[in-house]
Chain A
């Protein structure tokens, strides 16, 4: 096991206090002149690297390394519903092709279902080298346990280096099951992926629930798994297919019937903010629901979609499908106007690809200003009414 060891003979009350203050996770306890580490420790090694010299030591037992040359290929799990492919799968194929340029690996798609022929054609146009097809009547409906067995079979036979999943509701339920079956790492909702020449996938995402990004790696386990939200990456350009479709044997894969879908109730389709070209995001600066009406003239004029941050969803003011951020929707409109949004990292990672960002906030230190093209330091309650007047003037002209 790996852990932090404290050299007690070097500990005094001042040093203990310094370490307690240094640790971001409150993992030090100091009682009766003994400094100890509790289970809150994340082994971030700050105490070793930045603490008083020689007090904390990192003890590491030998790491079992794997032969990485045994694993090759970047695969994308193709998500579909009733044989309509979710576009996040295409975005992932685009990213896989970029990553593969570093290592020269092949890019493949994993397609599970029945009557998959037309889906294969669509996937080939996105420029994959290979599609592994598990076509079987028994796979007609998505079943998380059965599909996990398919993925296990796939990995045993093809030993790929990386598998990417869309961070959809289904992907977020399916990918962890696959990770636990294959006893490997999985990073959720990556906002950036990079490849090293030796084939290590660098998975970048917000971490520790705060305004901080982490670069995560899976050094000694394969496959390396990651989910990515829809609209985080761009779809690849269509090309003349060059890939091959490889039918896989499905007979040996058992099905599990613990879960039966009794009924599906379609919801009325709300206009989807992920697709919108112009978005106005309202944030916590709005003091009550009725005040949202202040935005209406601008929204009408711009023909924009209204979106919001998490607190407004929690207040129940706006349909949850309109939340921007990693726990809501990822958006990349041509124009995004943020009104009274302070910009948590969760929010920013869900909209930072927007082409042009204007934000209004009365706090000069808010994080959103740091990525906005135009930052307007002021009160929405003062600016919006003025703006409405100015817009009305345009109409009269």
Chain B
């Protein structure tokens, strides 16, 4: 029985600005971390394994060679195997090309029963890659899962959390789920596991390893969407800035609310 967990390395800070003169994107240094939502996805997988040691957990990611770091972290937390998809052929991939590339890796790994993703990433914030992978693999998916209730031989029962209601869903395996944050407590990487996993090497997968050898299906070329331009958010030029004592500021707020008949 095999679980594949999809994880991603994301910028640790959201401080991105555009240089107003050159139009160049300025990003804050080399600060990266594991997408925080993926921690809940990994923990969900580890909890399955705690109940049944026959499960194998295979963590995968796509990114630059330095994305190995998040896979090491996953191994040190509890994953058994790890694969990194990296190739400049994949550069510039949008959601469709990314999902397709990852689905190619998953097919290469093969024999999976369950795929677990975080509900979204903090850099893209689209929440689309999970469902698109499921479609490319022709397997069912459920999003916003907060708990796996039961895994049977050929199906899984999960509880999904939406705004107005929770749903208990039974789904045939293999299947893909995306995990809502906050319903489990992700474990930390342990020194003991770090020692134990020292000999485990990360499997590096490049374009030439994948079944589909048409380069037009990957990277920028395989991406229907393209960024036309980037620009800073719009400003409101009518803004009034109040720099004065707290007393005066409080009374100005009071007057403002009074004028607008809120008080």
A358: which of B130, B236, B253 is its contact (CB, 8 Å)? B253
Binary contact readout A32-65 vs B (1 if CB under 8 angstroms, 0 otherwise): 0000011111111010001000000000010000
Given A175-B128, A186-B96, A214-B227: A371 touches B263 (CB 8 Å cut-off): no
List which B114-151 residues lie within 8 A (CB) of chain A. 120-132, 134-136, 139-144
A38: B residues at CB distance < 8 A = 64-66, 86, 88
Binary contact readout B158-174 vs A (1 if CB under 8 angstroms, 0 otherwise): 00001111111111100
B120: A residues at CB distance < 8 A = 327
Choose, from B13-21, B48-56, B69-77, B195-203, the stretch at the interface: B13-21
Given A188-B126, A383-B253, A386-B246: A39 touches B233 (CB 8 Å cut-off): no
A267: B residues at CB distance < 8 A = 163-166
Instruction: Report A385 CB to chain B, min CB distance, Å.
Output: 8
CB atoms of B262 and A278 under 8 A apart: yes
CB atoms of A344 and B14 under 8 A apart: yes
Given A39-B91, A267-B166: A211 touches B221 (CB 8 Å cut-off): no
CB atoms of B253 and A376 under 8 A apart: yes
Q: Determine if A198 is an interface residue (Cβ-Cβ < 8 Å).
A: no
Given contacts A38-B88, A186-B95, A391-B263, 12 further A-B contacts (CB under 8 A): A27-B91, A39-B64, A43-B220, A44-B227, A208-B27, A211-B233, A213-B231, A259-B172, A364-B241, A386-B246, A386-B251, A387-B250
A394: B residues at CB distance < 8 A = 254, 258, 263
A269: B residues at CB distance < 8 A = 164
CB atoms of B24 and A24 under 8 A apart: yes
Interface pairs (17), CB distance under 8 Å = A3-B88, A39-B86, A42-B91, A44-B25, A46-B25, A144-B131, A144-B140, A172-B128, A172-B143, A179-B132, A186-B225, A211-B14, A213-B232, A258-B171, A360-B249, A377-B241, A387-B254
Q: Determine if B218 is an interface residue (Cβ-Cβ < 8 Å).
A: yes
Given A218-B225, A391-B263: A176 touches B88 (CB 8 Å cut-off): no
B27: A residues at CB distance < 8 A = 24-25, 208, 210
Q: Determine if A244 is an interface residue (Cβ-Cβ < 8 Å).
A: no
CB atoms of A376 and B125 under 8 A apart: no
- The chain B residues found within 8 Å of chain A, CB to CB, are 10-11, 14-18, 22-27, 30, 62-66, 86-92, 94-96, 99-100, 120-132, 134-136, 139-144, 157, 162-172, 175, 182, 215-216, 218-221, 223-236, 238-243, 246-247, 249-254, 256-258, 260, 262-263
B128: which of A176, A210, A263 is its contact (CB, 8 Å)? A176
Instruction: Report A85 CB to chain B, min CB distance, Å.
Output: 15
Given A335-B262, A344-B14, A387-B253: A188 touches B127 (CB 8 Å cut-off): yes
Measured in the bound complex, the distance between the Cα atoms of B232 and A210 in whole Å is 10
CB atoms of A371 and B234 under 8 A apart: yes
B235: which of A39, A259, A346, A370 is its contact (CB, 8 Å)? A370
Q: Determine if A87 is an interface residue (Cβ-Cβ < 8 Å).
A: no
List which A381-397 residues lie within 8 A (CB) of chain B. 382-384, 386-387, 389-391, 394
* CB closest chain-B residue, reference A263: B168
Q: Determine if A237 is an interface residue (Cβ-Cβ < 8 Å).
A: no
B218: A residues at CB distance < 8 A = 1
Nearest 4 pairs between A and B by C-beta?
Answer: A210-B16, A43-B92, A209-B123, A185-B224
Given A180-B136, A187-B225: A302 touches B91 (CB 8 Å cut-off): no
Chain A interface main SS type? mixed
Instruction: Report A80 CB to chain B, min CB distance, Å.
Output: 13
A374: which of B90, B168, B242 is its contact (CB, 8 Å)? B242
CB atoms of A1 and B89 under 8 A apart: yes
Measured in the bound complex, the distance between the Cα atoms of B143 and A86 in whole Å is 19
A41: B residues at CB distance < 8 A = 88, 91-92
Measured in the bound complex, the distance between the Cα atoms of B181 and A128 in whole Å is 39
A373: which of B11, B236, B250 is its contact (CB, 8 Å)? B236
A184: B residues at CB distance < 8 A = 96, 224
* CB closest chain-A residue, reference B134: A177
CB atoms of B96 and A259 under 8 A apart: no
Instruction: Report B31 CB to chain A, min CB distance, Å.
Output: 10
Q: Determine if A216 is an interface residue (Cβ-Cβ < 8 Å).
A: yes
A262: which of B14, B157, B257 is its contact (CB, 8 Å)? B157
A186: B residues at CB distance < 8 A = 95-96, 128, 225
B247: A residues at CB distance < 8 A = 386
Instruction: Report A20 CB to chain B, min CB distance, Å.
Output: 11
A212: which of B18, B135, B136 is its contact (CB, 8 Å)? B18
List which A212-227 residues lie within 8 A (CB) of chain B. 212-221
Q: Determine if A183 is an interface residue (Cβ-Cβ < 8 Å).
A: yes
